[in-house]
Amino acid sequence: MTNEFTTAQLLERVTESRIADGDARVRRIAARIIGDLFRAIDELDVQPDEFWAGVDWLTRLGASGQGGLITAGLGFDRLLDIRADEADRRAGREGGTPRAIEGPLYVAGAPLAKYETRVDEGDTPHAEVLVMEGRVLDTEGRPVSGAIVDVWHANEHGRYSHFDPEQAEYALRRRIQTDAQGRYRFRSFIPPGYAIPPGSPTAELFEALGRHGHRPAHIHFLVAASGQRLLTTQINIPGDTFLDDDFAFATRDGLVVSLEPGTPVSGYESLGVTRPFTRVRFDFVLQPALTEDESKPLARMARVAS
């Protein structure tokens, strides 16, 4: 034994030396990633100052809570969706509303309403009033009653409550339980797009990469029902500059909705509308769950914590 190593010997020591079995899967993934990084440092001749600048950036990224923002921006969230779609195709699990990434801004436990609610917190003068409505269906086209439609979107400045100290708790976040016919509806406003926080570690990297940090206008959903597979998706508002240039690569062709401006008030009085508004009709189609786990109404971080 010697304590003088070549790079290859060092890598082997780092990835193979242990005092216990540990977790075989973690060991395998860690060994691969560490090995890839050793190789990248070598091939790119990464200098110490560059390496430590990277570590400093990662430290600040973690402290800023932007881990989930950078994964979206670097395409990892969409990658996982592409892989899930491929796995579904191989398994013959087709049909239903396309999935779209959850993103880093979900908060569990939003106020629960039956059939209809306002998602907005009172009037938003410079935004267009939106009523979105539809049904939750199974892949046979049958309505799913008692499904939970968990909806969240940005405010008029493109910011999300909980992460934005200016907003009330659960602002622009609601859960809606579908009625006996599987219907839901809510009133809100058409949100603007999202932009990564200026001056943040994510913005710093994006500047160095020459990339923008804009998402087109969108509304997020988790749709859950017993016996059905949890659906995580988004709808996109048509006409946005960034619709086909999303920094998170999360928009999907099947999820760009049609707007129906000038929809008359009649029948929507219970949502407090007093003037013609923009309507969006959208049915969520859920696949059958193959396991109980697939139907759990858990967002991604709650899943891994449970």
Q: Identify which range of 4-12, 57-65, 86-94, 96-104 contacts ligand MBD by CB under 6 A.
A: 96-104
Candidate segments 48-56, 60-68, 100-108, 177-185, binder of Fe ion by CB under 5 A: 100-108
The DSSP annotation for 148-197 comes to EEEEE---TTS--BTTBTTSPTTTTEEEEE--TTSEEEEEEE----EEPP
As a whole number of angstroms, the distance between CA 262 and CA 125 comes to 17
Q: According to CB under 5 A, which one of 103, 192, 213, 216 is a site residue for Fe ion?
A: 103
Q: Examine residue 250 and tell whether it contacts ligand MBD (CB under 6 A).
A: yes
Residue among 184, 194, 221, 277 that touches ligand MBD (CB under 6 A)? 194
Contact 185, 131 (CB under 8 A): yes
Q: Is 138 exposed, middle or buried (0-12, 13-18, 19+ CB in 10 A)?
A: buried
219 DSSP β-pair partners: 235
222 is a contact residue toward ligand MBD (CB under 6 A): no
CB of 153 to ligand MBD, least distance (A): 8
In the bound state with ligand MBD, the residue whose beta carbon lies nearer, of 202 and 228, is 202
Rounded-to-integer distance, Cα 147 and Cα 185, Å: 13
216 is a contact residue toward Fe ion (CB under 5 A): no
Nearer to ligand MBD, 101 or 137 (CB): 101
Please report, for residues 85, 97, 203, 210, the alpha-carbon distance to residue 139 in angstroms, rounded to integers and kept in the order given.
16, 9, 41, 43
Stretch that binds Fe ion, among 24-32, 44-52, 95-103, 206-214 (CB under 5 A): 95-103
- Give yes or no for residue 104 binding ligand MBD (CB under 6 A): yes
* Residue 205 lies near ligand MBD (rule: CB under 6 A): no
* Residue 101 contact partner, candidates Fe ion, ligand MBD, none, CB within 5 to 8 A by sort of partner: ligand MBD
Are 168 and 24 a contacting pair, CB within 8 Å?
no
Nearest to 236 by CA among 178, 154, 172, 300: 154
DSSP assignment of 89-145 equals: HHTT---SSPP----S---S---EEESEEE-SSS--TTS-EEEEEEEEEETTS-B-T
Out of 159, 215, 252, 279, point to the residue binding ligand MBD (CB under 6 A): 215
**Partner from ligand MBD, Fe ion, none binding residue 72, C-beta < 5-8 Å depending on class:** ligand MBD
Considering only residues 62-91, where is the footprint of ligand MBD by CB under 6 A?
69, 72
Beta bridge partner(s), residue 161: 164
Task: For residue 174, state whether it binds ligand MBD (rule: CB under 6 A).
Answer: no
**By the rule CB under 6 A, 219 interacts with ligand MBD:** no
User: Would you tell me which residues interact with Fe ion (CB under 5 A)?
Assistant: 103
Q: What residues make contact with ligand MBD under the rule CB under 6 A? A: 69, 72, 101, 103-105, 194, 215, 248, 250
